[in-house]
Structure 1
């Protein structure tokens, strides 16, 4: 059975690069039953994870092109949403994990500065439930850098894998703004090292929500699915891995570079080593 990756985002468009691999979908925003993405953000994330490059003749291909994709729409067309809807989406994943063989969850967004602290705690508790149930959760570090303690929830959850961008010196459009040094920095308020790893995040080309088209986007939203795709690839070959085992292997496959320690965590992920080493 294909490794299922749940994408908690704005939805997912039936792009040619996904073929018949969109195996599940739920809409917590508008309650629609059909697969759709009125933003394009979720589709871009899905393309980084599992696009097979069909519409580009292999030029733009995801990390795990054989994975099954499950869309969990919790954000609207502008990329905004309620924490309560996100929590409900995560509960749905927990309930449906066996049906869709969900082994990985990608969360490419974070809380806004004026969020409710109690809601954040509820969100992180729900994320930890997924992790404890055997699902690898990968979250973006957020685009609120470069200050310390700028990791957004649920990326600040200590159990999960949080991903930042090492090339955030590039100017990039984040929610319509031009931002430099955007990648969220640790440590967290609990003094936990975050993010665990960094990968590229600027000017990433992947599927858009238009027929056979692609788009270029930047942010830690684009970094997280690179790691999610790598985890999905690993689990295709080694389905016995637990979330804790995946995280430990991840940390062993990082290489430090010349950027601040509170930005890179354990370093840049060597994806080839992570997927192929014994």
Structure 2
């Protein structure tokens, strides 16, 4: 993360406005329309150069004086309407918590390794062929005739293992927004797991179904590094790319914690609206910072933005997951919209030391989010004339309330297939 990088929101991006920005901040602005495989934003942005993400009206600048940005907002001639300092984002799964413990509490090293190995080596039952994972059963996948055919689903995460045996025959398009790391490899594993839930099909060893939109067009944006960290600018860069490519669904299984009563970012609220205006739905993880039942905490960013769908996690007993964040900042923004399976979810995973085979069980709102993204693809295939705002409304209206669970925890309820 660049220490003094700012994300600046403009109310206009015409030539006069861009010249105003260039003159005011002493930078040269390059539009994202000129970005390519060989001309990446992370190679451009420095003290003298900024990038404009043309679909979002967002400029990323380095080492600008914060007081100057504040004065720009007050200046009626300036196109600047909001700015925020770059923040870090992390995968919204249990491994993130484990990694923090590793870094900060050395004396717990052996205990953490024991817990990590337990999660990786949870026994995976050997089911009958064509059986469904519990999460797919819970949302009603057994009866649907739809498969997301023709719908572009974009997973913004740690990348994707294109060599995974369940995807070797799939055409997967992708791009990396992390310098020095490729999108088609995934040493972390988180992105491959999320992509499998949203767009996978069946296990090549047992034939058990674990993925939802099996005939969708899988798109990958690497916005989190191999060590699981990303920044605002990499995420904004990828969202702008996805909108340019006209992808219909963006799935964000990542989160950055927010404080009690903290208002949502104007930046992400605007980005979500501009995505919807481009017929693109952004779906994001509510976050995993709660310690239930004693201490639920607010929905994380960017899911706390009203224009981005926030997804909570439940377990196979229809209970709210102990880690799942809650809509307790609802007065200032930050409610949960729907919930989905997010505890002990099996999906694709890179084959590497520490896990057996090509699959693992993971837990997190990270796992719940691609359930919703995959189902949104089925809805879009089933109802091709609906725009993304209408698909959002349908996801909420068809969700099933769960007895004894609160609206603040699960929103409208558990997502459901429409038969």
Normalising by structure 2, report the TM-score: 0.57
In structure 1, the residue corresponding to 2:366 is in which secondary structure? helix
Number of the residue aligned with 1:244: 389
1:261 equivalent in structure 2: 407
1:67 matched to 2:235: no
How big is each residue's C-alpha offset from its partner over 1:4-47, in whole Å with a ceiling of 9 and x where there is no partner? 10001000111222244343111111355561112100000000
| Change beyond 3 A, Cα 1:118–1:272 | closer
- Cα distance in structure 1, aligned partners of 2:242 and 2:150: 16
Q: Report 1:53-202 matches (<5 A).
A: 53-97=202-246, 102-113=247-258, 120-145=265-290, 146=292, 147=295, 150-167=298-315, 181-188=322-329, 190-192=331-333, 194-202=335-343
Check if 1:52 corresponds to 2:201.
yes
> 1:264 deviation in Å?
1.2
In structure 1, distance between residues paired with 2:170 and 2:410: 33
Which consecutive unaligned segments of at least 5 residues does structure 1 have?
A: 171-179
Mark the structure with the bigger radius of gyration: 2
Q: What is aligned with 2:347?
A: 206
- Once the two structures are TM-superposed, the CA of residue 148 in structure 1 deviates from its matched residue by 5.7
* Equivalent-residue separation in structure 1 for 2:316 and 2:226 (angstroms): 25
Decide whether the 8 Å contact of 2:183 with 2:220 is kept in 1.
Answer: no
Give distance in 2, aligned partners of 1:77 and 1:12: 11
1:228 aligns with 2:377: no
Q: Distance in 1 between matches of 2:341 and 2:327?
A: 18
Residue by residue over 1:128-185, the C-alpha shift from the partner in whole angstroms, topping out at 9 and shown as x without a partner, is: 3212210121111111225566101111110222110123999xxxxxxxxx721110
Cα pair 2:250 2:280 within 8 Å, conserved:
yes
C-alpha RMSD of matched pairs (Å): 2.6
Preserved CA contact (<8 Å) 1:6 1:72: yes
Q: Does 1:11 align with 2:159?
A: yes
Q: Is the 8 A contact 1:127 1:154 kept in 2?
A: no
Greater relative contact order structure (CA < 8 Å, 6+ sep): 1
Q: How many residues align?
A: 258
Q: CA deviation at 1:189?
A: 5.3
SS of structure 2 residue aligned to 1:91? helix
CA distance in 1, matches of 2:236, 2:344: 30
| In structure 2, C-alpha distance between the alignment counterparts of 1:254 and 1:66, rounded to whole Å | 23
Contact 1:60 1:205 in 2 (8 A): no
**Partners in 1 of 2:189 and 2:369 — Cα distance?**
16
- Alpha-carbon distance change, 161 to 119 in structure 1, aligned in 2, over 3 angstroms: closer
TM-score (norm 1): 0.83
Distance 2:220 2:188 in 1: 13
